Structure 1
C-alpha cells in the first residue's frame, strides 16, 4: 500500500515532528508543499494532509496544494497541530468532498506557538508536541492503515 503525506510545517516545525515520528515506524512518502507545488498523487492508495493551524485554518500553502493536486476518489486523512485550538476542518473537508474523496479520519495535537502577541509571554504549549502526542499520532496512523486494509479486503470479496 502506497501512502503519502503532503504537509506544511512552519514556525517551530511542530507538524514535521509528528510526521517524522510516523515515518520512523512506517513506509510513507512525505511531500513538503513549500518545495513541491505540483505532483501526481494518483499512484497513492492513501493521501494524508498535514499542517499547523494558522488563523483557525490549515495553511494556505497546503490548501492551494490540495486544490491543485488532490486527485478524485481517494482515501484521505488529516493531521494538524495547534497552539490555542485545532484548525477548522470545514474548508479542507469541503475540498475533499468536492473531489469525491473519502475522509478516513483526523488527528490533532497541541504544538509550541509563539505567533504574534504569544511571543511576548514566551509562547504557549511549550514542549509540545510531546512524547504522548507522537505516540498518539503513530497510533492514529496505524488505525488509518488498518482501516484501509479492511476496505481493500471488502472490495476484493
Structure 2
C-alpha cells in the first residue's frame, strides 16, 4: 500500500525531523515538499499524510492551498504537525474542513512541540527549545505504524467487500 506525505516545514524544520524519522523506518513513503512541487497526482496513494508546522494557530497557508487543489476525494488522510504554543484545540480545524469537504477519511493525527523563535519570541530565546525530542520523534514513528495498520485493515475490508459484491470471491 502506497503512502505519500505532503509537507511544509520552513522555520526550523521541526516537522521535517518527524517525517525523516518516519521515512527512515518506512523508506517506501513518498515525501513531497510542496515548496518544490505545486501540483502532484496523489490518486495513486492509499494513504496521504498532510504535515506542517503551525503558523498563527493553523497549518501553513501553503499546505492548505495545496490540499484544496491536489487532494483526491475519498482519500485516507492523516496529519502530522509541530507547534510552538500549547493551544492545540484549533490547529487542525481548517485542514480538517478541507479534508472533510473532499469526503476523505481522517485516520489519525499527531502533534508535538517544536522549537519556535518567530518574531518577538526571539527576544526571549524562543519556546519549546530542544523540541521535538527523541521521545517525540519516536512517538511520531509509532503513530505512523498505527496509521498503517488501521488503513491496511480498512483497505483490505473494502477490497474484500468489492469482491463479494462482484461475486469474484469464493
User: One fold, TM greater than 0.5?
Assistant: yes
Aligned partner of 1:31 in structure 2 is: 32
Aligned partner of 2:80 in structure 1 is: 79
**Structure 2 Cα separation of the partners of residues 53 and 24 of structure 1:** 23
Of 98, 103, 106, which residue of structure 2 is paired with 1:103? Answer: 106
Of 116, 122, 128, which residue of structure 1 is paired with 2:131? Answer: 128
Query: Are 1:138 and 2:141 an aligned pair?
Result: yes
Unaligned runs of 5+ in 1: none
Q: Rg larger in 1 or in 2?
A: 2
Structure 1: 4+ residue segments shifted above 4 A = none
Unaligned runs of 5+ in 2: 162-170
1:152 shift after superposition? 2.1
**Structure 2 Cα separation of the partners of residues 36 and 68 of structure 1:** 12
Q: Deviations over 1:17-53 (max 9, x none)?
A: 0000000001210000111111100000000000000
Aligned partner of 1:12 in structure 2 is: 12
- Give the structure-2-normalised TM-score: 0.90
- Give the structure-1-normalised TM-score: 0.97
Query: Are 1:92 and 2:92 an aligned pair?
Result: no
Aligned partner of 1:151 in structure 2 is: 154
Aligned partner of 1:68 in structure 2 is: 69
